[in-house]
């Protein structure tokens, strides 16, 4: 490669980086604007960080293939799942906010992105023909469970475990100091929870929790040291 080719390559890379930065900024502004419209529906002031996405990905079952993401937001977890090796056709993203849904469709055209309510997940999965005979391997949730009523939590978790396979995992992050789901509700639904890693550099810091059926294969939490 000659000096002219090298210069052209550097310009192309610089342009790519600039466009990527502009796209992230536009996504962040879209997210913040939706938070201003409805703070209770959008759980945070800004999208989750890539550090938090890594902590969520660590909790996926080994050889996880079919995955659902709830509350896709600007696509931080979506991008991490695809980078982890989940095929676009094996990923279903559900986002209730119409503007964020359109953003996700533009960013991930090969992935099925549905504008819908997590409480209706079973119907959504049936309509999309997504789960198959063995159910889904994992569900990553960016929903603000901590701020939801117990009835809403019950509806979401019931819908989630209706499509998860026998050893499927529901992976949720929270900004609180403990599981966002009470012991009473876990007992009622027959669920078990363990805490995984903590993304200390996320703003604010966030902990990851993994929910499974009590009679499923036991799981080991993946913990990380504070950095």
* Residue 221 counted as domain residue: no
Rounded to whole angstroms, how far apart are CA atoms 210 and 165?
Answer: 15
**pLDDT for residue 82:** 97
Instruction: Check: pTM over 0.85? Answer yes or no.
Output: no
Exposure on the CB side of residue 88, measured as CA atoms within 13 A? 10
- Report how far apart, in Å, the C-alpha atoms of 5 and of each of 9, 12, 15, 58, 81 are: 6, 10, 15, 40, 34
* Structural domain range at position 87: 3-213
CATH number at residue 49: 3.40.50.150
**pLDDT for residue 176:** 82
* Residue 128 counted as domain residue: yes
Walk along the chain (227 residues) and give the pLDDT tens digit of each residue: 665 655 555 444 444 343 344 444 444 434 444 443 444 444 544 456 888 999 999 999 999 999 999 999 999 999 999 999 999 999 999 999 999 999 999 999 999 999 999 999 999 999 999 988 899 999 999 999 999 999 999 999 999 999 999 999 999 999 888 999 999 999 999 999 999 999 988 878 899 999 999 986 555 544 444 44
**pLDDT for residue 219:** 53
* Residue 220 counted as domain residue: no
* Residue 113 counted as domain residue: yes
CB of 44 within 8 A of CB of 35?
A: yes
**For the chain, what is the domain count?**
1
* Residue 77 counted as domain residue: yes
* Residue 227 counted as domain residue: no
């Amino acid at each position: 490669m000659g000096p002219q080719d090298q210069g052209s390559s550097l310009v192309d890379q610089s342009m790519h980086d600039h466009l990527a930065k502009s796209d992230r900024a536009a996504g962040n502004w879209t997210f913040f604007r939706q938070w201003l419209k409805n703070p209770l529906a959008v759980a945070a002031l800004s999208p989750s960080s890539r550090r938090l996405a890594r902590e969520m990905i660590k909790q996926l079952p080994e050889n996880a293939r079919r995955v659902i993401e709830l509350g896709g937001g600007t696509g931080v977890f979506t991008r991490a799942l695809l980078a982890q090796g989940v095929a676009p056709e094996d990923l279903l993203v559900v986002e209730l906010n119409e503007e964020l849904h359109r953003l996700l469709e533009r960013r991930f055209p090969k992935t099925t992105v549905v504008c819908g309510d997590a409480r209706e997940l079973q119907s959504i999965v049936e309509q999309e023909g997504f789960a198959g005979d063995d159910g889904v391997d994992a569900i990553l949730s960016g929903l603000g469970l901590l701020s939801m009523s117990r009835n809403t939590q019950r509806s979401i978790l019931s819908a989630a475990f209706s499509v998860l396979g026998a050893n499927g995992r529901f992976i949720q992050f929270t900004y609180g100091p403990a599981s966002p789901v009470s012991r009473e509700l876990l007992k009622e639904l027959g669920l078990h929870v363990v805490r995984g890693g903590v993304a200390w550099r996320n703003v604010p810091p966030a902990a990851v929790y993994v929910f499974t059926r009590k009679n499923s294969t036991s799981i080991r939490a993946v913990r990380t040291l504070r950095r």
